[in-house]
Structure 1
C-alpha cells in the first residue's frame, strides 16, 4: 500500500488570470478541498486551492500563488497527492482506493495467474483495469465491472478477472496470436 494517494490532476490553464482546469479523482469532486494542502508527486511542492467551481467537463481552480497564465501553464499535468492517513477509511469491502490495487496479482476464477494490476483508468465510459500479463508482453485492459472483475480482495491481495473479458487476439503468453 502506498502512503500517498493521487486525488487530482491539474490540466491546462483556464483564462489569463492563473486559474487552471482541475480533474479531481475523489468520490465527491469538491472533497479535494478537504485534504489541503496537496503536494506534487515528489512531495516537494505544496499547493492550496483557493477556489473551486464546476466547469463543463472539469473543475476550475485558483491556486494560491498562481496569478497568471504563464505560472498556470507550468503546472499542466501536475498530479496532486494527499497523505493516506488524511483520507477516510474505506466504508466496506467493496470500497477501496485505486492505489491499493496497483501491484496486486490477477488470477482467473480457477486461480491460474493472469498478471499484475498496473493501473486503473477512466477514459469517460467507465473504469478500465490495466494489467501486465504473467508471461510478459504488452499490457492488457479489461472493463472494471463486476462481470469482468468479479473479485477484488485488497486484504487478501488478489483480483480475479473473467478470461472472457481479456481482449481477443492475445495468446496465453500475452503476445498477439499469429493469423493463419
Structure 2
C-alpha cells in the first residue's frame, strides 16, 4: 500500500489564547512541539476542503500549547477555527522504526486469522491506555482486536495490504 496522498491527524485546535489570534492546540506528535516541524498543516476534515497553512509557530503555555497561524491576527478569526483538525501529509513524517506503524498505514489492511479466515478490513484504531485496539469491519460486523504484536497481531505486511491475527473468527 502506498502512503502517497494520505493525511495524518496530528492535532486539533481547541481554544483561544489572548486577543491577537493565538490558538490553544492539542498535539499528538512525539514530542508535542514536533507538530511545528511538519508543515504545511491542512486544517479541516475533508481532503480538498481544507485550508493549507505554512509558517505556524508556537510554544508551550502552562500545561498546553499555543500557536500563531499566518493570517489569523484577531480573536474573531481564531474563534472560527476552534474544533478544526490539524492534518499533515503522511510523506512529511519520518519512517517508523522496525515493527512500528503509523495508524494511517494500517487503515484499510485486509485482516485474516492464522488459519487464513478473512475477518474484514482495518477501519481504524484507538488507544485504551493499556494497549491500542484495531477495529476490524466486515459489513455490519465489527471486531475489536488488541494490537499486541506477537500475541494477537502475528504479522503486518504493508506492501501486501494484509495483517495476520491470532483471533477466534467467532469472537
TM-score, normalising length from structure 1?
0.72
Query: Structure 1 residue aligned with 2:160, among 134, 139, 156?
Result: 156
Please give the residue correspondences for 1:44-123 in structure 2 after superposition, counting only pairs within 5 Å.
44-47=50-53, 48-53=55-60, 56=63, 58-92=64-98, 94-123=99-128
- Kept in 1: contact 2:123–2:136 (CA 8 A): yes
Per the alignment, do residues 76 and 8 of structure 1 end up closer, same or farther by CA in structure 2, a change over 3 Å counting? farther
Superposed CA offset, 1:88-122 (max 9, x none): 23333x12322111111011121111110011223
Q: Tell me how large the CA RMSD over aligned residues is.
A: 2.8
Aligned equivalent of 1:144? 147
Which has the bigger relative contact order, CA under 8 A and spacing at least 6? Answer: 2
Aligned equivalent of 1:4? 6
Which sections of structure 2, spanning at least 5 residues, go unmatched?
none
Superposed CA offset, 1:40-95 (max 9, x none): 34354122422132653x53333233334443332233222223333323333x12
Instruction: Please state which structure has a larger fraction of its residues in strand.
Output: 2
List, as ranges, runs of 4+ consecutive aligned residues in structure 1 with deviation greater than 6 Å.
none
